[in-house]
A and B are shown apart, each in its own frame.
Chain A
């Protein structure tokens, strides 16, 4: 249900109730009693601002899960939200998320409204941000209609990707040949050690990997090492793959599933051909990053938390590609909305949304206010 539907429903119910009492009304009329004023239809105000909705503080952030259909905040824990299909958009401090549930995968598309807040080179025009407010940008918001909706494939959705996953090989779509991406370096942090590795070569068998040779540079922080050691090769034979191939970088060898492994490669069977899948995963207690430029000669263990190591599965937010704000435009460490109009396509409808503020009346950050309406034809 959307706002219009709810209001329409209440008007219908009101009319029905009025009809149920029509006999008495008629009687009143007949007896000359002045009738009650006709029910006032509550006007649907397009562009009405909702909020602010608090997303907590930097130290204690919390998510606000919002259902566009009912225009309500759903009280969900993050775990509950992960399995919930009702909410559409969520806010957590500066991060905006979309539901990825199979029954309600929400996509977003940023319209061209206020693209002139940036110049042709993409530089921020601060005055445009600083002088805009919810009133001045209402007209642009109201002008967006169903006519502005793009084709379905133009919408972006939140996604997840593996920190290493399939990034260690190249696939030639013309020749269908798979080869090692030997310039793609990964650094894995696990067990107080850091290991930079890459796939130096690989062979295939059917649609599986038969062998893969890893180049490994190990750095043991426990032993006081501050740089990676020289690269050594570790060849993995997947032709007898059983439950998976597990590698312990500290030992630079394969180990059993029960051992303290750092990365693993799942097994794959393709028409009786046993091999390895084209995926590399890290352990639950490990983290990794892509060192695309092969720039790190070692990891400063005291600063490791700031390198950007990520867990095995990471989330990619669609809103991150089209941020709704600019930061610190006038020296006040504040977030200024572009008042861009986003289209949000849910499983049931398409809405337009404009974020108007990140603050409450006292200036407390993390408090979202926005306006949204279901797209209507012009």
Chain B
């Protein structure tokens, strides 16, 4: 769909307006590490609520974040989902859960399809750098998944089914999703349990080929929580999260043989969280995650054992107009990876030999409230067992201008540093395919990637006429200059001499990423509109455009309360202007759009249903063109119809 058509469509929608305001002030924590109203946050934060998540997701966060303006959702080579923000790729967007990091099975990127939505209270999205508060990888933005802390006693059961319609592998294939969510207070202790099972049969564009487009998956999520709030505001929380995922996808016939090679992935992950706090004065959080993964093509499987341990402590001082938050973080990453032997009795090939990285990080951020204005200044220092000392500093400011005639202007600005430390894979990887002509090697001399960035955002909020009509406009500009980007680079000399393609991770890239985000929200009675446009100009040190990033992105959402308390949601995503990589031979398609519809209704306090269609026009990648080396930005996606029903017991 062309840009003009999208705009016309949006204005068309705007003509159909009913009246209902849904403006609700959200509490956010990501920008300051303390609770604050979303509109008062000195750092711009977008929020997806639990209710919206249930409408947008199919059990995991995959795809749901596409709802947020400026966020670019991507499907990676392992059929996982990641996001880009402000031109930074998935390795430079930090995904947190309750302000602590998660396992990154691929590079520095968390797979959003491995995060269930059942016990999520909200998702906070911070666009721009935030390394001062969160350290490595927070260069393009931070997505902080806030799990549920408080809830009434409840027991809820949900079932949802789905079909990929004409792209079904077998015409009778349907997907299943079952959720059980319960919370109970007993003797002052709150217990939570949520169970979720997702069976997805996968899809295939061309049944005449062996290659399957998307894998069949079988995911299980188990979340257990126990917490108590004591009289003196002292709180204790224990959580255990279990996740497993089995994927399978046929890929190739075996040359010269009758069999086939499939992509397989088996993941099992345990996460344990312990949190102690006294109100917001102090907090100590501990996290341990162990991620076991066997994945790869069936003739070339790898085992990975990834461990993350972190203790994050924080203290908050309030002295009149000053608020000081300081913290100390102890962090350890461990990684062991082996390519399995293909013969019985033979040993595998160790690709990363039980390597570890430890860091001690300290941060402090001072907030100074000047009437309605606020200035933030923070610094973070990190001592890493591998890289020594690093630091980042940043200043943010919020200026709230005259509030009269029910309108308000806010100016947010920030400038500072951010960084990403090399992963263990980037440092120690040995991928030896010399018999096939290439090798990929880690580099122990890698330095952290660094960036200096600046953001400027102006927002305008006006209440139109009465209390249920609101208009919100925002303009956000961003500029980042990044250096020492880590890429796999062909070692020209070694390649020329050996006849092998020798690639190694190196600090080589410099990049300038700048752009503009425009957003408009209109709450008009029973209809909420959201329209956003993002522009990106991202170039490397040669002035060449960075690949795989859309230059233009438009998102439009329409949330409409229909008669009989039916909610309708329409959201549209349009992107264009991506550039091919140096390895790609041309462009098959550099723009795409997706239209998603859903309806939901609560019959009463117990029964609720939802139904809809994702990717209505079934816009998807041409896998033949991609295999032929062409750029096709359309996602590996399919039209999907779905319907679900839930019952709340109490």
Residues of A that sit less than 8 Å from B by CB: 54, 56-61, 93-95, 133-134, 289, 295-296, 300, 303, 306-309, 327-328, 330-337, 356-366, 369
Contacts and interface: CB of A to CB of B under 8 A. Distances in A.
B346 A336 contact: no
B342 A361 contact: no
A307 B256 contact: no
A211 to B, nearest CB: 31
Given A56-B346, A364-B343, A332 B251 contact: yes
Contacts of A300: 493
A339 to B, nearest CB: 9
16 contacts: A56-B343, A57-B343, A57-B346, A58-B435, A59-B347, A295-B493, A300-B493, A307-B498, A309-B497, A328-B436, A332-B261, A357-B256, A361-B254, A363-B259, A364-B299, A365-B299
B252 interface: yes
A359 B257 contact: yes
Given A59-B349, A59-B432, A331-B627, A361 B257 contact: yes
B298 interface: yes
A356 B256 contact: yes
Contact of B349 (A57, A295, A327, A365): A57
B299 A330 contact: no
Interface of B: 251-252, 254-261, 297-300, 341-343, 346-349, 432-437, 439, 491, 493-500, 502, 504, 627
A300 B491 CA distance: 11
Given A56-B343, A363-B254, A363-B299, 12 more contacts: A57-B343, A58-B432, A60-B346, A95-B435, A295-B496, A306-B494, A306-B498, A307-B498, A328-B436, A334-B252, A334-B255, A363-B261
A94 B435 CA distance: 6
Interface of A, helix, strand, loop or mixed by DSSP: loop
Contacts of B502: 303, 306
A336 B255 contact: yes
A93 B435 contact: yes
B494 A307 contact: yes
A362 B256 contact: no
Contacts of B500: 306
Contacts of B299: 359, 362-365
Given A57-B346, A60-B346, A289-B497, A363 B491 contact: no
B256 A330 contact: no
B627 A360 contact: no
A327 B436 contact: yes
A358 B256 contact: yes
Nearest to A325: B255
Contacts of A307: 493-494, 497-498
Q: Which of A93, A289, A334, A335 has the most CB of B within 10 A?
A: A334
List the 10 closest pairs (A to B, CB-CB), nearest first.
A357-B256, A363-B299, A306-B494, A308-B497, A307-B497, A364-B342, A59-B349, A308-B498, A93-B435, A332-B252
B436 A57 contact: no
A327 B347 CA distance: 25
Contacts of B349: 57-59
A60 B347 contact: yes
B298 A303 contact: no
A364 B343 CA distance: 9
A361 B258 contact: yes
A303 B435 contact: no
B439 to A, nearest CB: 8
Given A134-B256, A361-B254, A58 B434 contact: yes
A19 B328 CA distance: 96
B494 to A, nearest CB: 3
A303 B278 CA distance: 54
A303 B257 contact: no
A325 to B, nearest CB: 8
Contacts of B258: 361
Contacts of B498: 306-308
A133 B346 contact: no
A194 to B, nearest CB: 12
A357 to B, nearest CB: 2
A330 B627 contact: yes
Contacts of B499: 308
Contact of B437 (A60, A95, A327, A330): A327
B497 A335 contact: no
Contacts of B433: 58, 333
A86 B436 CA distance: 29
B493 A296 contact: yes
B486 to A, nearest CB: 17
Nearest to A59: B349
Nearest to B298: A363
Nearest to B256: A357
A331 B211 CA distance: 11
Nearest to B259: A361
Contacts of A361: 254, 257-259
